[in-house]
Amino acid sequence: MSITEIAGYRVMRQLGAGGMGQVFLVEHPRLPRRDALKLLDTGVSRNDDFKARFQREADLLAQLSHPNIVTLYDRGEYDDRLWITMEFVEGTDAGQLVESNGPLPLPLALTLVEGAGSALDHAWRKQQITHRDVKPANLLVTLDTSADEPVVEAVKLADFGIAKAAEEATSLTSTGVTVGTMAYISPEAIEGDVVDNRSDIYSLGCTAFHLITGQAPFIGKSMTSLMSGHLNHPAPAVSQVLPSLPAALDPVFARVLAKNPDDRYQTCAEFVSALSDAMNGVAPASFSYAQTLKAPTQQRAKEPRSHRTLWLSLLTAACVFGAIAIAGSVVYLSGKNDSAVPVAASSTPQRTTTITRTTTSPTPTPTEAVEAEVVETTPTEEPVTATVPTTPEPYEGQPCGPDQFNQHNSSGTLYCSAMNGAWTDLTHQSRPAVERGSACSEPGARARIAQTDSIATCQADSDGSLVWRDY
């Protein structure tokens, strides 16, 4: 059934849908104004942890008033589903601009980065808030195309859905699991360390790199390769990725993408100023790309977790439920859905494992590590045993973290999406919305019905033809 009204707001049309809900363009019930209304699915709305995170988004965003931050208007519940209304920004986003036009002209890219940087500096200065999901898709742009050359009218940073006050520790973030788009996430966020505004500065640097070169600094086909790039490899020089760019930009990006937060620019304004100077041919202070390989200083007492350890942790402990990203840049998008490259994985049954701890040599060197080895034992031995608990089956919208990204549930119907940090229905999220009764070609396939929250299945009609039906 189509939704025509939500909490007094008249629904004009659906703007988009993601793994956890829908976004509508609505008319305010009393004011002559159009808003963007984000309506979450019932499954996630009834999750107490998620409800707390969603309400926290509203609380944080309500405290921020800035021309480059999307304005929050109201929040509530409708038919047991959480909703939030925000400023509707009519236009496009920086990611779409690059996708449609290729690398952006330097003046345009600078305008977008300057707007986002101003928003981030304001949020940190006023409320000690970090955004944690800075990326091109979250930079909303309104363009005036009436003149010969398009003019930027507004730049808005959207989706503070996974922001948190730096000094406030809550159960929602105590696990240390990070959420965000991996192509733009900082090394310290990947490692699960405490982050501050310099993590957002790194992400803004990745975003600027993408805007002027047409690609993110680290690219790969898997989450592991992207994580390895951020943690272990220097970003390529922008003048090598796109030779038409001035070489003066290279040390600017080498510094903003340094692995050690202390080596980066300490405010977005510093980065934007250096970027502007370099675009105008003013060479910044030299900064070697070798310096980007320094380990971050914000380490915990233990050694950084390797990718192997991250994946093994899923087999030796119960599931960790991390913070959730509210799905999508929701104030303007039309028809964007989550997608991911699936990686096969199976659930872990309950079993008892015999573990004997050994070392690689009697006197290990600093580069040698203590390893855990599974071995067969005899009754005369006294092994150390550990019981690995059964991983509970996830449900759609349940939060998940980097240890689970791109994994599937036992039935193969859900996967852990890195785009929204939640278990997402694989069977319909990869398809665009469909019209009820329209023709289809894959029996058993599922898709969301346009302008509704219903899911249709491709079934045989009375005449034998295949159509989308939700009954």
**Whole-number pLDDT of residue 362:** 42
The CATH number corresponding to 92-316 among 1.10.3720.10, 1.10.510.10, 3.90.79.10, 2.160.10.10 equals 1.10.510.10
- Is 133 in the active site? yes
pTM of the model: 0.62
The CATH number corresponding to 5-87 among 3.20.20.140, 1.20.120.1760, 3.30.230.80, 3.30.200.20 equals 3.30.200.20
**Whole-number pLDDT of residue 176:** 34
**Torsion (CA) 307, 309, 315, 316 in degrees, nearest 10:** -160
On the 0-12 / 13-18 / 19+ scale of CB atoms within 10 A, 97 is buried
**Whole-number pLDDT of residue 298:** 42
**Whole-number pLDDT of residue 313:** 33
Catalytic residue among 35, 121, 133, 425: 133
φ, ψ of residue 455 to 5 degrees: the values are -110, 130
Q: How far apart are CA 469 and CA 454, in angstroms?
A: 10
Query: Between residues 288 and 113, which one has the greater pLDDT?
Result: 113
- Per the CB < 8 A criterion, the answer to whether 335 and 433 are in contact is yes
- Per the CB < 8 A criterion, the answer to whether 426 and 342 are in contact is yes
- List, in sequence order, the alpha helices (H) in 9-139: 42-45, 48-62, 94-101, 106-127
Q: How confident is the model at residue 341 (pLDDT cuts 50, 70, 90)?
A: very low
Q: How far apart are CA 65 and CA 63, in angstroms?
A: 7
**Whole-number pLDDT of residue 455:** 77
- Per the CB < 8 A criterion, the answer to whether 194 and 121 are in contact is no
Q: Where are the domains of the chain?
A: 5-87, 92-316, 431-471
- Asked whether the CA dihedral 221, 174, 325, 67 is positive or negative, the reply is negative
Nearest to 45 by CA among 83, 11, 9: 83
- Per the CB < 8 A criterion, the answer to whether 98 and 141 are in contact is no
**Torsion (CA) 416, 419, 424, 426 in degrees, nearest 10:** -90
Q: How confident is the model at residue 324 (pLDDT cuts 50, 70, 90)?
A: very low
Give per-residue pLDDT as tens, 420-468: 566 666 666 556 778 888 888 766 677 778 766 677 777 777 776 788 8
Predicted confidence (pLDDT) at residue 301 exceeds the cutoff of 80: no
Give per-residue pLDDT as tens, 221-243: 778 888 899 999 998 999 999 99
